[in-house]
Structures are given as C-alpha cells and as structure tokens.
C-alpha cells in the first residue's frame, strides 16, 4: 500500500513538474504568424498565464495594434508575486486587461494595463475564470499538461477558438482524437523540434539535444515532444500531401483484424490505393481534410490493436484517400 502511494506521489510530482514549462517568445512568434488574419477585432484570453511574466501576454500586448485586437485578458494562477517560479504561495490571483496603446508610444505601459483581483485562485475551471472565458473569442496559451483533457473539454463546451500547446501524446487521448477525427480540431504548424524548448525553473536539470541557457539567463529544456493544437484555419491544412508510391500487395500488407493496408511512413502512402490505409500518428501533421478522411484509431474490428501476422506495429490511424 505504502509503495502504491509513493508511486502515486512520484507520478503526481512528475506531472506537476511538467506543468512548470514556460513558453519562449520565439516559439510563440513562429507559430502565431500563421494566424494573423484571425485576430482582427477579437478578444484574446490567456488563461494559464501570469500576465506579468507570460510571453503570451507579452506577444499579444506588444502586437495589439499590429493584430488589430479588441481586448487582451490574462489570468494568473494562485500567485501574486512578480517571480516566474515562486511556488504559488498565494491562493489569490489577479487578471490583467489591456485595451491597446493610449499614449501613442506603441508600448503597453503599466498605467494602460488594468490589474484586477480575482476572488479565488485563478483556476481556469472556476466560475469567475469561466466568466472571462465567455467574453473571449480566442484562447491562446500553453495549459498545464496534467489538466489537458479538462482544459480542451472546457474550450469545446464554451465553443471557443483556440491555439494551445500540448504534448504529442495528447493526439492519442480518445477525447482529443475524436475531435481531430471530426475535424473540430487539428494540429497547428509547428511540432516536435519545431518548438525549440521551454523555460524551466532554476532547480530543474537541463535535458534534450538543444538544452541551453539563453542570453537572458533563462534555462531551456528541449523536449521535442510538443505540438500546437488549434481550431483556427491555417494554409498548411489545405496543402495536399504529394504521393509518389504505387500500391503493391507485397509492400503493403493488410492487417489481420481490419481491412486496411499498413504504411510505415507517411511519405510512402500509395497514390493509387482507394481502400483503408493505416498510417503513423505523425501523419496528422500533414493531414488535409480535403485529401484524406480519418476513419479510426489504433483498433481493428475486434477492438484489439491492429496487427499483422500477430504482431502489432506502432499506433496506427486508419485513413482513406478522398480524391480517388
Ligand atoms: C505549462 S505552464 C505554461 C505557463 C504559460 N502559459 C506559458 O506558456 O509560459 C502551465 C501553467 O498553468 C498554471 N496552472 C496550473 N494549474 C492551473 C489551473 N488549474 N488553472 C489555471 N492555470 C493553472 C501553472 O501555474 C503554469 O504556470
């Protein structure tokens, strides 16, 4: 029993640790430049962000006029200290509102930013934060990893547009895959190494191929395992994947438990096969809903993992070419 509880504590600690990854301005700029036209006259909410330090708040406040925003709101969780990594020592939280430049210097000054107190701890699920959510058109942030399912469910419930960061594994959560399958959400532009790293607290060990301390002294880990998830349209989503290979039964065996051929690399999808095709989950980074239809995830007709001669390849998504 003691062992189980220790494991659980460790598990919770690991989860909480992954929640303290802060997004770099350069990664935000690299993604959000693809969505500029969506932001005109819109209210943007960053609801997992201490606005005094969040690079999301920084990006939107400095680009307020450039994007033509209507209003920017950011809420802070449990913390009133201007220190990125202080340990949530206050239960009370604040939210900030910015309505654009007033004094003509094109810079968000303290006098132009309204600081308001929340009654509770700033949990995105709290009533007062939901009231702010209702006022928003587009939600943009990197939410806590451990609450990702709840976070997305709430955005869907309130019918919000969003651009958020998640772990690549999130695609395999059944709730998230369902949204992708139904074309209610899709992958943004950058994923994996396309997100260059996250700022972590001082006591974190640095890891990853691009781990570094940047010129401002920020400690950066390169996780290479995240993606952007959105329901705002991007040009990338309308680009056809160019296919080169021809189907042969020898090169593309069928699964034991589903009438579909197996493809190990997205680029090897045969151009001339009009039945069901199993592809790796990374296919979703190239998915154009006008070209392919997503049919099923991972399981065969018997609801067991897809297998070939009794062996299971990695997770597969079943798709079908709509253009044949
Ligand atoms: C992965 S960090 C990202 C922070 C910031 N959005 C960024 O990208 O730099 C997730 C943040 O969510 C905050 N957080 C954790 N639980 C929360 C909750 N229930 N409601 C709102 N924010 C929460 C954490 O304090 C942490 O700052």
Ligand 1 atom closest to 143 (CA): 10
CA within 13 Å, CB half, 172: 12
Ligand 1: centre distance to CA 134 (Å): 19
In angstroms, rounded to a whole number, what is the distance separating the alpha carbons of residues 98 and 84?
20
DSSP state of 35: G
Alpha carbon of 283 to ligand 1 centroid (Å):
29
Q: Which atom of ligand 1 is nearest to the CA of 78?
A: 25
C-beta contacts of 17-21 below 8 A and 24+ residues apart:
17/204, 18/145, 18/146, 19/144, 19/145, 19/146, 19/147, 20/85, 20/200, 20/201, 20/204, 21/142, 21/145, 21/198, 21/199, 21/200, 21/221, 21/223
Q: Tens digit of pLDDT for each residue in 177-212?
A: 999 999 999 999 999 999 999 999 888 888 888 899
Q: In what order do the strands lie in the sheet with 43-46?
A: 113-117, 94-98, 71-75, 43-46, 138-141, 161-167, 226-230, 186-191
What is the spatial distance between Cα 74 and Cα 93, in angstroms, rounded to a whole number? 11
- Write the residue with the smallest CA distance to atom 25 of ligand 1: 77
Closest residue by Cα to atom 7, ligand 1, is 22
What count of other Cβ atoms lies within 10 Å of the Cβ of residue 43?
17
Burial class (CB in 10 A: 0-12, 13-18, 19+), 212: middle
Q: Is the separation of the CB atoms in 49 and 74 below 8 Å?
A: yes
| Distance of CA 236 from the midpoint of ligand 1 (Å) | 28
CA atoms of 6 and 33, how far apart (whole Å): 44
120 strand-pairing partners: none
Longest dimension (CA), the chain: 71
Alpha-carbon gap, residue 196 to 187, rounded angstroms: 17
Output the residue whose Cα is nearest ligand 1's atom 13.
48
Q: Which residues line ligand 1 (CB under 6 A)?
A: 19, 21-23, 48-49, 54-56, 77, 122-124, 141-144, 147
What is the distance in A from the centroid of ligand 1 to the CA of 200? 13
Q: Provide the CATH number for the domain formed by 2-235 in this structure.
A: 3.40.50
pLDDT tens-digit profile, the chain (324 residues): 333 344 444 444 455 556 789 999 999 999 999 999 999 999 999 999 987 789 999 999 999 999 999 999 999 888 644 444 444 455 578 899 999 999 988 888 888 888 888 999 999 999 999 999 999 999 999 999 999 999 999 999 999 999 999 999 999 999 999 999 999 999 999 999 999 999 998 888 888 888 999 998 999 999 999 999 999 999 999 999 999 999 999 999 999 999 999 999 999 999 999 999 999 999 999 999 999 999 999 999 999 999 999 998 778 999 999 999
> Do residues 252 and 269 touch, judged by C-beta distance below 8 A?
no
Domain map of the chain by residue range?
2-235, 239-321
Q: For ligand 1, atom 20, which residue shows the shortest CA distance? A: 123
């Amino acid at each position: 029993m003691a062992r189980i509880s220790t494991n659980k504590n460790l598990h919770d600690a690991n989860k909480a640790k992954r929640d303290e990854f802060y997004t770099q301005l350069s990664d935000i700029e690299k993604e959000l430049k693809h969505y500029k036209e969506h932001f005109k006259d819109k209210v943007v909410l960053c609801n997992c962000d201490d606005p005094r330090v969040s690079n999301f708040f920084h990006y939107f406040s400095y680009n307020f006029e450039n994007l033509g925003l209507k209003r920017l709101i950011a809420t802070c969780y449990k913390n009133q200290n201007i220190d990125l990594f202080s340990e949530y020592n206050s239960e009370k939280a604040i939210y900030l509102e910015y309505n654009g430049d007033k004094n003509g210097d094109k810079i968000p000054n303290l006098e132009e930013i309204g600081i308001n107190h929340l009654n509770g701890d700033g949990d995105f699920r709290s009533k007062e934060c939901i009231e702010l959510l209702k006022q928003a058109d587009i939600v943009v942030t990197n939410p806590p990893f451990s609450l990702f399912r709840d976070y997305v469910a709430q955005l869907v419930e309130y019918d919000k547009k969003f651009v958020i960061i998640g772990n690549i594994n999130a695609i395999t959560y059944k709730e998230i895959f369902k949204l992708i399958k139904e074309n209610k959400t899709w992958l943004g532009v950058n994923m994996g190494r396309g997100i260059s790293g996250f700022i972590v607290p001082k006591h974190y060990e640095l890891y990853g191929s691009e781990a570094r301390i940047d010129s401002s002294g920020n400690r950066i880990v390169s996780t290479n395992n995240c993606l952007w998830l959105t329901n705002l349209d991007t040009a990338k989503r309308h680009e056809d994947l160019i296919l080169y290979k021809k189907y042969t039964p020898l090169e593309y065996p069928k699964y034991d438990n589903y009438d579909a051929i197996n493809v190990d690399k997205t680029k090897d999808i045969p151009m001339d096969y009009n039945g069901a095709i199993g592809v790796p989950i990374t296919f979703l980074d190239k998915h154009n809903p006008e070209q392919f239809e997503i049919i099923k995830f991972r399981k065969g007709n018997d609801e067991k993992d897809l297998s070939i001669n009794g062996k299971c390849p990695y997770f597969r998504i079943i798709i079908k070419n709509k253009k044949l």
